[in-house]
Amino acid sequence: MARKTANDDPLAPVTIAVGQEELLLDRAMQQVVAAARAADADTDVRDLTPDQLQPGTLAELTSPSLFAERKVVVVRAAQDLSADTIKDVKAYLGSPAEEITLVLLHAGGAKGKGLLDAARKAGAREVACPKMTKPADRLAFVRGEFRATGRSATPEACQSLVDAIGSDLRELASACAQLAADVEGTIDDAVVARYYTGRAEASSFTVADRAVEGRAAEALEALRWAIATGVAPVMITSALAQGVRSIGKLASAPRGARPGDLARELGMPPWKIDRVRQQMRGWSADGVAVALRAVAEADAGVKGGGDDPEYALEKAVVAIARAARSR
């Protein structure tokens, strides 16, 4: 979720939203607009791209109004502003106009860093909107979405939703909103499966789960459906590798350890410890080694080492399912 600085007043003279997660950038902007319109329903909002903000444009937009109207000026992709326009913005930061809120959406990084530094030095309110590249970040996002609506969702349901929807934050947010609106009581993984069964079956993690459980036929069915619906083969090999590695990690962990302690040691959430424990019942050390080799061969096959990525994945799924019954 977006992180904010100590200055958390959406009506601060200047807000900078920094990062590459489009949904969070839009939400940061929308929060400012909502606060402005709550203070004045007639607030004028100007949403501009770099090519629309030419030298002198900002001065025109922020010049005193005869009617002292409240205004929000949003500048998207501020890192792409021209050098002359950046000079205008920096000058404005030193003396922002009353009743006007300037919102700069900036990707971060080296490009346009001088503008960011100037805004920070001027005391701008900052909202961090980093790209969510890790599954754990998306899982935390889903939990936050349910909390924001006052709804309760089980850890398994949150994980199932991430597995089913994937990495698109807008789709995850939409799915959370739909479930919160439609479902009474606690949202569990059965509810998620009922709403998103087609997508869940296409998930690379579903393929991996069925394979490490030794359910070859179901794993192959999920694999074919995943490929048919456009799941990238490399995502499937990644999920297979993660599933087998989780089995290996837990198999080598101290016996009798509590899930919470194992979670910290192995870098897994406690609910996943329980799931992997169920999945590893038929596994042996030799089986893990065989499965890891199968994943490595499949990975090479889907990355150009073979003529048929789908066949490489099928071989890996069958090998992993057999290894799951090696004990």
Closest C-alpha to 172, from 195, 145, 190, 193 = 145
202 burial via Cβ count (<10 Å: 0-12, 13-18, 19+): buried
Residue 197: CB atoms within 10 A of its CB come to 11
Q: pLDDT tens across 149-160, in order?
A: 999 999 989 988
Query: With a threshold of 0.85, does the pTM exceed it?
Result: no
Q: pLDDT tens across 271-291, in order?
A: 677 778 888 888 998 999 999
CA angle 232, 234, 235 (to 5 degrees): 70
Asked whether the beta carbons of 11 and 39 are under 8 A apart, the reply is yes
Rg (CA), the chain: 25
Q: pLDDT tens across 26-35, in order?
A: 999 999 999 9
